[in-house]
Amino acid sequence: MPLSPGPRKLALTAHVGSSVGWVGAVAGFLALAIAGLNSDDAQLARGAYLAMDVTVRFAIMPLALMAVLTGVIQGLGTPWGLLRHYWVVIKLVITIIATVVLVAELDPISEVAGAARATTFGQETMRDERTSLVVHSGGGLVVLLVPTILSIYKPRGLTRYGRRKQRHASTTGRGRSPLKQPISP
């Protein structure tokens, strides 16, 4: 189902925007998590966790879902395909896993934010959970950089399915690379 150039550029813009936005939102979330864990200022810490709850629900989650959706649209609507190239497959797997982990972290984040609403919230309150938020967001940030790098470098490698599709395309004479077009005089 190839997309025409206009919608293709739009889908690409949406995908790049949401993917990079996701990375940026997680970086901001990590900064809040570190501040909340290490700050001696109880008000700042409480504010950080309240902000983290809002950030994850209204920024990170929508961006993640949009990145997955637009990525699938990009895969299905362009010659890259969804399963033909290893870099696309790995990107898809990483993005889906990261989204699943994100959904699993929503409740723990809400719990900490709920505790932060209490004026008795102190440095030792839910210390393990707060440390876990730093670890998860830091690890998530590193993981999310991998699809970004793959998107830029696009390392070579066709899957078995991709080689089959390529063989089929070359025998039917369709899907030739623009580089193989004859040069007109």
Partner 1 sequence: MADLRPDPDTPSDDGPGQPGIPRWVKVFVIIGAALLVILVATQFIGDGGHGPGRHGGDGDETPASTEDGDHTPPVDHGP
Nearer to partner 1, 13 or 54 (CB): 13
Q: If binding is defined by CB under 8 A, does position 184 make contact with partner 1?
A: yes
Q: If binding is defined by CB under 8 A, does position 38 make contact with partner 1?
A: no
The residue assigned the tokens 């699943």 is 100
To partner 1, the closest distance from the beta carbon of 123 in angstroms equals 12
Tell whether the torsion through CA atoms of 143, 61, 121 and 111 is positive or negative. Answer: negative
Options 7, 100, 157, 164; binder of partner 1; rule CB under 8 A? 157
Q: Are 2 and 78 in contact (CB under 8 A)?
A: yes
The stretch near partner 1 (CB under 8 A) out of 25-33, 41-49, 58-66, 85-93 is: 85-93
Q: If binding is defined by CB under 8 A, does position 98 make contact with partner 1?
A: no
**Which amino acid appears at position 185 of this protein?**
P
Options 16, 28, 80, 99; binder of partner 1; rule CB under 8 A? 80
Options 58, 79, 103, 164; binder of partner 1; rule CB under 8 A? 79
Buried b vs exposed e over 152-168: b needs ≥16 C-beta within 10 Å? eeeeeeeeeebeebeee
d(CA 125, CA 129): 9
Identify residues 1-30 at the interface with partner 1 (CB under 8 A): 8, 12
Both tokens assigned to 28 = 């901001």
How many residues are there in the chain?
Answer: 185
d(CA 132, CA 82): 33
Q: If binding is defined by CB under 8 A, does position 107 make contact with partner 1?
A: no
- Residues forming contacts to partner 1 in the complex (CB under 8 A) are 8, 12, 78-80, 84-86, 90, 124-128, 132, 154-158, 162-163, 166, 177-181, 183-184
